[in-house]
Amino acid sequence: MKKQQLILVGSGVVLLCLIYFFGNTIPPKKNPGAVAAAAGPKEISFNTILEASKKQLTPAQQAQVAQLETAVVRGDVKEQQEKVYKQLANFWKDTAHLLLPYGYYTAEAAKLENSQKSLTFAAQFFLEGIRRQDNPELQRWMGIEAKELFEKALQIAPDNDSLKIGLGSCYLLGGISDSPMEGIMKIREVAERNPENMYAQFMLGLGGMISGQFDKASERLLKVVQHQPENVEAILMLAEAYERQNDKAGAMKWYKEAKKHIHNADVVNEIDERIKLLGNK
């Protein structure tokens, strides 16, 4: 394996971990999904991620992981393997604080358990991670993992709209298809049947941001914030949608509204800078 690839994956693992524990509130100017789509279909394997992650462990931790991995191979019944996968997941989250391996082993345990709850949890973990990951190869890997999990969950609950939206979002955000519209159509089908589904409206708003259709994005996001007035992410994205349309008044209004719900001084300062820049334009 190339040294540069290991460094790249290692930094991605650390980045996702940092964002997981400290949060990322303001939507980035460059949406990760758009970056992934532009980068083209690149592949990365979990073995690459795992090797990069292990290099960040102490010798004692590496020995602990090796012991658990051996237990997985020796496990001759599904319940034993599921238990060890969960132990591996807990190790990577609680001891190593590296969340890509945690997500992978959580997903493997969910596939063995094969319950809607466990599959959905693992799928949503990857889906949320895509939006906070800048490395397009890791985005695509997470998108593929999430897609498989959502599809398995839909086999159990084929009429579940949230699962359908999640599956569509994998196409929209994960760079797993040459056409993001494939994901948009899956989500739009739910939104047209049930306009009150704010999850669908939010994801369509996000799709508008990715595609540069900021007028359509603001329409969707306005519906969301009217129904969910404390949805800070939707408020911030709506403010940015107006900013991208050169609607200074609309952007400033919603940036100021977002400040009412945020208690992180650094984030508030960043919003104040946005407002100040808008006022000077």
How is 58-115 classified by DSSP, letter by letter? -HHHHHHHHHHHHHHHH--SHHHHHHHHHHHHHIIIIIS--HHHHHHHHHHHHHHH--
- CB contact at 8 A, 232 and 261: yes
What does the block give as tokens for 203?
Answer: 């994801």
Asked whether the predicted pLDDT for residue 105 surpasses 80, the reply is yes
Location of structure tokens 């991605």:
12
Asked whether the predicted pLDDT for residue 181 surpasses 50, the reply is yes
Tens digit of pLDDT for each residue in 214-251? 999 999 999 999 999 999 999 999 999 999 999 999 99
Average pLDDT, the chain: 85
Q: Specify the pLDDT at position 29.
A: 44
Tens digit of pLDDT for each residue in 133-162? 888 999 999 999 999 999 999 999 999 999
Asked whether the predicted pLDDT for residue 24 surpasses 70, the reply is no
State mean pLDDT over 21-42. Answer: 42
Distance of CA 221 to the CA centre of its chain: 18
Location of structure tokens 């019944």:
77
Q: Specify the pLDDT at position 279.
A: 83
State mean pLDDT over 198-214. Answer: 94
Confidence of residue 77 (pLDDT cuts 50, 70, 90): confident
Instruction: Produce one character per residue of 77-115: b if its CB has 16 or more CB atoms within 10 Å, e if not.
Output: eeeebbbbbbbbbebbbeebebbbbbbbbbbbbbbbbee
Asked whether the predicted pLDDT for residue 56 surpasses 90, the reply is yes
State mean pLDDT over 13-31. Answer: 38
Q: What angle do CA 119, 123, 124 make, to 5 degrees?
A: 120
Q: How many CB atoms are located within 10 Å of the residue 116 CB?
A: 16
d(CA 97, CA 85): 16
Confidence of residue 280 (pLDDT cuts 50, 70, 90): confident
Nearest partner of 236 among 219, 259, 214, judged by Cα: 259
